[in-house]
Chains A and B, each alone.
Chain A
Amino acid sequence: GQQLNQSPQSMFIQEGEDVSMNCTSSSIFNTWLWYKQDPGEGPVLLIALYKAGELTSNGRLTAQFGITRKDSFLNISASIPSDVGIYFCAGPNAGGTSYGKLTFGQGTILTVHP
């Protein structure tokens, strides 16, 4: 089945630093979604990407849909303590686009030191 590989698995950074994480797939995706999960809460959708090469921003967050359609990147600029959490990438399963079923990456755990 489809797999999404996220890297890095975890990051420890200082407040104010920029963060970059990525997600790769063995197969082509036509949608990339990025979620953030705060401790004790459900994942919250941050950014949705629908076109190869698309670059989309949401505040200090910027995500890109790779041209090969097999990868995506999420960048966070000037990190703050509330950026702490787990970041997931996700995309629709092959053959499952009519159902909206998603495959999720393993997540990147972000820790921000004040």
Chain B
Amino acid sequence: DARVTQTPRHKVTEMGQEVTMRCQPILGHNTVFWYRQTMMQGLELLAYFRNRAPLDDSGMPKDRFSAEMPDATLATLKIQPSEPRDSAVYFCASGWRGDTLGHNEQFFGPGTRLTVL
């Protein structure tokens, strides 16, 4: 049963601390997306990768957020330093795209619920 996995599922930290969230995309998928979900803003796209290369991170606060794919099986989202307004649920999703072909479906992980005190 192929699924996107995310760790940790829950994280409580104090303002100013570094937070790292991890995602393992579905094996064979070549696109990875990071989303943030809040009651006020809904689902916001933060960054996405294709074949491990970052294609767009315009949705991400550059001064404190960074996203990387060290290899095809791991994507990370880091916040440093964290602030209370970063409290949200962070989702990773994966899919498959070729240059001109491929589906638009994205498959979501269970999310990381982040609370910054």
A residues engaging B (CB < 8 A)?
Answer: 31, 33, 35, 40-45, 48, 88, 90-92, 97-102, 104, 106-107
Q: Which 8 interchain pairs have the tightest Cβ spacing?
A: A42-B108, A100-B97, A92-B104, A31-B104, A104-B43, A43-B108, A42-B111, A42-B110
Contact B111 A41 (CB under 8 A): yes
Q: For chain B residues 76-117, which have a beta carbon within 8 Å of chain A?
A: 91, 93, 95, 97, 99-100, 102-111, 113
A41-B110, A42-B111, A44-B108 given as contacts; is B95 within 8 A of A100 (CB)? Answer: yes
Contact present for B42 and A99 (CB under 8 Å): no
Choice from A90, A91, A99 contacting B56 with Cβ under 8 Å: A99
Given contacts A104-B42, A104-B43, A106-B42, contact A99 B107 (CB under 8 A): no
Whether the Cβ atoms of B105 and A33 lie closer than 8 Å is yes
Partner of B43, one of A41, A88, A99, A101: A88
**A88→B104 CA distance, assembly (Å):** 15
